[in-house]
Amino acid sequence: MNVHRRIAPFADRVLPLLATVAMLAALACIFLYVPNERVQGPVQRIFYFHVNCWWAAYLGFFIAAGSSALFLWRGGASYDRLAHAGVEVGILFCTMGLVTGPIWARPIWGTWWTWDPRLTMAVILWTIFAVYLVLRSGARDEPEISRYAAVLAVIGVLDIPLIMISVRLWRGIHPSVISAPANKGGLEDPRMVTGLLVALVAFSLLFLWLLWLRYEGLRLRDELHRLEDRMDESTR
């Protein structure tokens, strides 16, 4: 409770402001500072947001899996709420990643979509966590449903390492820009690295703010249901 009280003023007032400023700085950096990539031209600028969408999605799903594991181990509604909020925000960024990828692929690969291993794994990841949200779509969280959802989150997150290594493991066509050297499809200019890092900070802050908003919404909902239950008991 004390931790919550200490975080709340920062998360309610400072975090949205920081996220907005960082996002504006990222956009300025990407469109005004970072140079055009030699082969792809302006379309390559999608990369700076696309990669960070996936970063935020993975962050959300890892937080969800970690909190779910703690919920299964120790119990506690706050772990369950954090997991639920993590999945909701994670799936938003996962959807952004899945939408921006094909928009980049169309002018570069000549097709919107291909069943490349990494892309297929990414769709599987989205589906797993969409099922998680369907499981939790009831007005109230039944304890059994919470446990099933927690197990699903812990298992579902195992898809992320597979996505990461799929390019090397199955030799897909998805580029691995960050791990590749500059002369072999990596970031050829230091300004590109700066653009990516500024966007990384912006997406991390945006992620934290949205996570906080959803966590608070779920906490208030649970608090309200608890009060309703107490009233129902007292009127019986």
Partner 1 sequence: MSAPERFWFLFAAYGAIWVLLALFLMHIGRRHRVLERELRALEARLSRQAGG
Using CB under 8 A, list all residues that contact partner 1: 41-43, 45-46, 49-50, 53, 92, 95-96, 99-100, 103-104, 106-107, 206, 210, 213-214, 217, 220-221, 224, 227-228, 231, 235
Residue 161: CB minimum distance to partner 1, A: 26
Of residues 159, 131, 160, 150, the one with CA closest to residue 66: 150
Q: Report yes or no: 25 and 195 within 8 Å, Cβ to Cβ.
A: no
State the minimum distance, in angstroms, from the CB of residue 100 to partner 1. 4
Gap between the Cα atoms of 10 and 3, Å rounded: 12
Residue closer to partner 1, measured from CB, 162 or 208: 208
- Shortest Å, Cβ 82 to partner 1: 16
CB-nearer residue toward partner 1: 147 or 221: 221
Question: Minimum CB separation from partner 1 for residue 31, in Å?
Answer: 9
Give the nearest distance from C-beta 73 to partner 1 in angstroms. 29
Question: Residue 95 or 114: which CB sits closer to partner 1?
Answer: 95
- Quote the least distance from Cβ 38 to partner 1, whole Å: 13
> What are the residues whose beta carbons fall under 8 Å from the beta carbon of 61, sequence distance 6 or more?
86, 87, 90, 94, 125, 129, 153, 156, 157, 160
64 vs 206, beta carbon nearer partner 1: 206
Q: In whole angstroms, what is the distance from residue 173 CA to residue 52 CA?
A: 20
Which lies closer to partner 1 via its Cβ, residue 100 or residue 204? 100
Interatomic CA distance for residues 199 and 50, integer angstroms: 10
Q: Return d(Cα 181, Cα 118) in angstroms, integer.
A: 20
Instruction: Compute the least distance from the CB of residue 150 to partner 1, in Å.
Output: 21
Structure token digits, residue 166 = 């799929």
Identity of the residue, 104 or 154, whose beta carbon is nearer to partner 1 in the bound complex: 104
In a 10 Å sphere around its CB, with 0-12 CB exposed, 13-18 middle and 19+ buried, how is residue 219 labelled? middle
With H, G, I as helix, E, B as strand and everything else as coil, classify residue 116. coil
82, 198, 118, 161 alpha-carbon torsion, rounded to 10°: -50
Nearer of residues 4 and 230 to partner 1, judged by Cβ: 230
